[in-house]
Amino acid sequence: MALDIYKIFRTAFGIGVPGSLLLIATSLNRPSYNNKQNEKTPYSLPASKKPEPIDEKKQGPNVELKFQKQFCYRNGQPVIERETTPNYTAGNKRDISFIVLHTTEGKGNEALTWLKNPKSRVSAHYLIMEDGRIIQLLGEKDVAWHCRGYNKRSIGIEFAGFYDRPLGDIQVKLGAELIKNILKKYGLGKGSIKTHSELDPKRRKDPGKGNLEKILKGIN
C-alpha cells in the first residue's frame, strides 16, 4: 500500500509522499497483534512441532533413572571417583569380616566435606551420593573410623541420606552392586552385611529398616 501511494503522488504531482502520510500508509500494511481475532505468535512452534509430553507407558516410569545409569556406569561396572581423607589408620593386611552400612543424616556434599575434615575424626571407605556417584575416600586395606569396635575388621559404606527417608533408586542400585563386588572379593555372604544401628544400637539408627531392605533386595 505504501508503494502504491508513493507512485500516485509521483505521477500526479511530481513530488514525493509526505513523511507523515507514508508513515500512516506503512502502519496500515502491518499485521495487528492486538486484534484477538487476528492474533499472531510468530515465535511459537507450530502445534505439530511442539514437544510431546513424556509417555511413561512408552519410556518407563523413571526416565531419570535410565539417564543416571548411563552416567554412573562404565563398561558395565559402577564408576568410582577418588577423594582423600586424613582420618584413617594405615594398614597392610587385615581380615575383612563385615561391611557396615550407614546413612550420613545429611546431604552428600556436606557429608563429603565432613569426612575429609581432620577435625571430624570420622571417615568411611565409600560414600554413595544421591545421584548414584560412588566416591572412595580410602583404600580397603586402610582402617576407616566409622563404627567403634568394628573398624579394624570392616569396610564402611555411607549412603547420602537419612535413616527415616527412602534412599533413591539409582543410589540403592549402585550401592548394592558395590557391596556385591566387595562380598565376592573377600568371600563373604550376605550375613556379613551389618548396619550401624545393629552394631551400636544405643547411639545409632542408620541406615533404617526400609533402606536396609531395599539394599539387600538389590543384592539378590
Q: Which H or E element spans position 123?
A: none
Give me the catalytic one of 110, 140, 158, 177: 158
pLDDT value, residue 66: 43
Q: How far is CA 109 from CA 29, 115, 136, in A?
A: 60, 10, 14
pLDDT digits (tens, 9 = 90+) for 137-195: 999 999 999 999 999 999 999 999 999 999 999 999 999 999 999 999 999 999 999 99
pLDDT value, residue 56: 34
Tell me the pLDDT of the chain averaged across its residues: 77
Give the residue with greater pLDDT, 90 vs 76: 90
Is residue 83 pLDDT above 90, yes or no?
Answer: yes
Of the ranges 8-22, 94-108, 150-164, 195-209, which one carries the lowest mean pLDDT score? Answer: 8-22
Q: Which H or E element spans position 111?
A: helix 108-116
Question: What mean pLDDT is predicted for residues 196-219?
Answer: 96
Of the ranges 25-39, 112-126, 191-205, which one carries the lowest mean pLDDT score? Answer: 25-39
Catalytic status, residue 158? yes
Class of domain 62-219: alpha beta
Name the residue ranges covered by the structural domains of the chain.
Answer: 1-33, 62-219
d(CA 160, CA 102): 9
d(CA 162, CA 102): 9
Is residue 110 pLDDT above 60, yes or no?
Answer: yes
Q: Which grid coordinates belong to 194?
A: 551389618
- CA torsion, points 62, 66, 68, 74, in degrees to nearest 10? 160
pLDDT digits (tens, 9 = 90+) for 120-140: 999 999 999 999 999 999 999
